Amino acid sequence: MSGLVDQYIEELFALLKQRRSSPRLRSALAVRMVVLARPLAVRCAQSFFEFQTECTIPELRYTLSTVPAECYEEIGDMHQVLHWRGLGAEIAKDCDDEDIRDEADCNFHLVFADDAIIMIDDPHGVKQKSWNAAKVRDLEILYEETKKQEKWKYTFRYAQALLDKELDLAVANGRPPAGEKWYANTLEALSHLGVAEQLSYRPRVLFALAHAKFDFKSYLGCIESLQEVIKISKVANNRVIETNALFTSARAWLHLYQNSPEPSQWSSGYESISVSPSVNIVKYGLGLSTARREPFVKVSTAAKMG
């Protein structure tokens, strides 16, 4: 694959040298670059999949299978993610590294248990409820197994997935989301990981609970929980979760303002969105300016973050 890239660069350098001799080549150069880049992208992709198929080293084949899985996960194509995670789990069976096998199994089971994976022969959702319950039970079994084996990294990941499902189910059933069972279990599993991992993952766990309160429309409870999330995120230097927490806090204040307008609520929302430079830009999209006293958009339609 590197040979294709080298060839592409050599052709571009040749065009750049010709550019000086003829002014016409200046505009033609840009077109030529696009023409060269398009087949290059196709050939690179073809070479990648050919190499992945022909590779005889299980560990390398597994690593290569994770690349399209992660790419499809980024764009939300969970069925393709399921395909590649399943392929990775099969390849990992031939690996001597136990951690690779555990990682591959965990990735596959978590994708298979995702709510986006539904039964295609159940158009009216008759079987979906029982299947969702079966997914939860499978995750609980995997949680118990990895806990007994003290494979805490995977115990934590299963517990976190179960916490997400517990919170979603509570909101769907009209119950306050508190994570009665899996919040404590998730934090327990997290406590067995290294300090760096605890700093990284703890804000995410707390944010999941806080956002569930937002979904339940318990805005004051959400804001209170988010204060802790913001505090811990700053300590962990986790700017992603901090940004999401600040943005969600602003949305919660705006919802409170919509229900019973008070200047203090508007000011609190403005303050939340203005604290971090990384989220400062979105305050104009939400209509959060000192000159306005009403939201520019209906924040209930804003996309869920985190």
Token pair listed for 8: 């592409």
For residues 222 and 172, give the distance between their C-alpha atoms in angstroms, rounded to a whole number.
17
* Structural tokens at position 184: 């404590």
Confidence class for position 220, pLDDT limits 50, 70, 90: very high
Q: What is the pLDDT of residues 31-70, one digit of tens each?
A: 555 555 556 556 666 676 676 677 788 898 898 889 889 9
Matching residue, tokens 């924040």: 299
| Distance from C-alpha of 150 to C-alpha of 179, rounded to nearest angstrom | 23
> Per-residue confidence at 121, pLDDT binned at 50, 70, 90?
confident
Q: Are 114 and 78 in contact (CB under 8 A)?
A: yes
**Confidence band (pLDDT; 50, 70, 90) for 71?**
confident
- Which pLDDT score, from 0 to 100, does residue 14 have? 58
**Which of 79, 108, 70 lies closest to 92 in space, CA to CA?**
108
Looking at the predicted structure, is the pLDDT value of residue 129 above 90? no
Residue 9 in tokens: 């660069």
What rounded mean pLDDT belongs to the chain?
Answer: 79
Return the residue matching tokens 């998730």: 186
Q: Does residue 247 register a pLDDT over 80?
A: yes
Question: Does residue 111 surpass a pLDDT of 80?
Answer: yes
Q: Rounded to an integer, what distance in angstroms lies between the CA atom of residue 28 and that of residue 251?
A: 49
pLDDT of residue 107: 96
At 23 the pLDDT is: 53
